[in-house]
Amino acid sequence: MYQPQPFLTRLTFKASDRPEAEEARERLIARYGDVGEDSAQVIVALGGDGFMLETLHAAIASQTPIYGMNRGSVGFLMNEYSEDGLLERINAAERATIHPLAMTAIDSQRRNHRALAINEVSLLRQTRQTAKLRISIDGKVRMSELVCDGALIATPAGSTAYNLSAHGPIIPIGGQVLALTPISAFRPRRWRGALLPRSARITFEILEGDKRPVSAVADNFEVRDVLEVHISEDRDTSLAMLFDAGRSLDERVLTEQFSA
């Protein structure tokens, strides 16, 4: 039997440190109230895409849906800012569910560092020397040596961010794949990366790490002087973003593929 969804009314507002975001938060709280994060049905994030990522990371434990409004610069992950009809917009919104990447990075002291990445996990050279990486997928070596500035694994949600700047493919949100994209590959020079099933377990081994040190970055969490990095999708963690009707994340990603 169909059960109607409850009307979402309990909101909490989070703002970046930009003055326009903080001022918007004060006005919205005066108009709609703020029940606090523990009681909220929806988190309203006010800022740009970077702040949306911060808010998503902070909501991993509660998995509370997030509705963003742009009070930043780019705002690809945000809705247009308006103070009118907010509850109606939220209740009519389309939901995008995403799963982060789980990274385990082993550093030169053999310490394990674990972090989640909503956009991508990047391996980046630390010095003027190019990095040398060996890439294995599900335990099988697929590239014995990649000489490059780095490489990244991107989720569909992150495929329009750093991955796109590195000339990686844009992936629909419902796509069942991850993007493996080299950053300024020197050898093999013409290799443009690969699309991997989302079930793939990816391992990067750093070759000549003492001479060519590499850092691993999961969104904004960095580990320096890594020896190995293991990456896979964390299917046990689900994060929800809410987008205005007709402006879903799927629609935005599709539109991005036809932009100049």
User: Parallel, antiparallel, or unpaired: how do β-strands 66-70 and 226-233 relate?
Assistant: unpaired
Domain carrying residue 55: 11-98+238-257
For residues 112 and 213, state if they share a domain.
yes
Please indicate if the annotation marks 138 as binding a ligand. Answer: no
For residues 169 and 113, state if they share a domain.
yes
Nearest to 231 by CA among 74, 100, 59: 100
Q: Where are the alpha helices (DSSP H) in the chain?
A: 19-32, 49-58, 86-92, 162-165, 249-257
Nearest to 250 by CA among 162, 170, 165: 170
Please indicate if the annotation marks 227 as binding a ligand. Answer: no
**The predicted structure's pLDDT at residue 260:** 61
Annotation marks residue 250 as catalytic: no
Please indicate if the annotation marks 228 as binding a ligand. Answer: no
Please indicate if the annotation marks 152 as binding a ligand. Answer: no
The per-residue pLDDT string of the chain (260 residues; one tens digit each, 9 = 90 and over) reads 434 456 889 999 999 999 999 999 999 999 999 999 999 999 999 999 999 999 999 999 999 999 999 998 878 899 999 999 999 999 999 999 999 999 999 999 999 999 999 999 999 999 999 999 999 999 999 999 999 999 999 999 999 999 999 999 999 888 899 999 999 999 998 899 999 999 999 999 999 999 999 999 999 999 999 999 999 999 999 999 999 998 888 888 888 888 76
- Whether the CA torsion 183, 184, 189, 192 is positive or negative: it is positive
Examine residue 184 and state whether it is found in any structural domain, yes or no.
yes
* Rounded CA separation 121/155 (Å): 9
Catalytic pick among 34, 38, 49, 219 = 49
CATH code (residue 112) = 2.60.200.30
For residues 126 and 248, state if they share a domain.
no
Examine residue 1 and state whether it is found in any structural domain, yes or no.
no
For residues 242 and 221, state if they share a domain.
no
Please indicate if the annotation marks 162 as binding a ligand. Answer: yes
**The predicted structure's pLDDT at residue 7:** 85
Beta-strand (E) ranges in 149-219?
Answer: 150-154, 177-183, 194-197, 202-207, 214-218
For residues 84 and 32, state if they share a domain.
yes
For residues 67 and 165, state if they share a domain.
no
Examine residue 5 and state whether it is found in any structural domain, yes or no.
no
For residues 83 and 157, state if they share a domain.
no
For residues 115 and 217, state if they share a domain.
yes
Examine residue 6 and state whether it is found in any structural domain, yes or no.
no
Q: How many domains does the chain have?
A: 2
For residues 89 and 34, state if they share a domain.
yes
**The predicted structure's pLDDT at residue 1:** 42
Cβ contacts of 63 within 8 Å, gap of 6 or more: 237, 238, 239, 240
Please indicate if the annotation marks 165 as binding a ligand. Answer: yes
Examine residue 147 and state whether it is found in any structural domain, yes or no.
yes
Please indicate if the annotation marks 120 as binding a ligand. Answer: yes
For residues 91 and 173, state if they share a domain.
no
For residues 121 and 145, state if they share a domain.
yes
Examine residue 4 and state whether it is found in any structural domain, yes or no.
no
CATH code (residue 65) = 3.40.50.10330
For residues 179 and 65, state if they share a domain.
no
* Rounded CA separation 193/152 (Å): 9
**The predicted structure's pLDDT at residue 76:** 87
Cβ contacts of 91 within 8 Å, gap of 6 or more: 7, 8
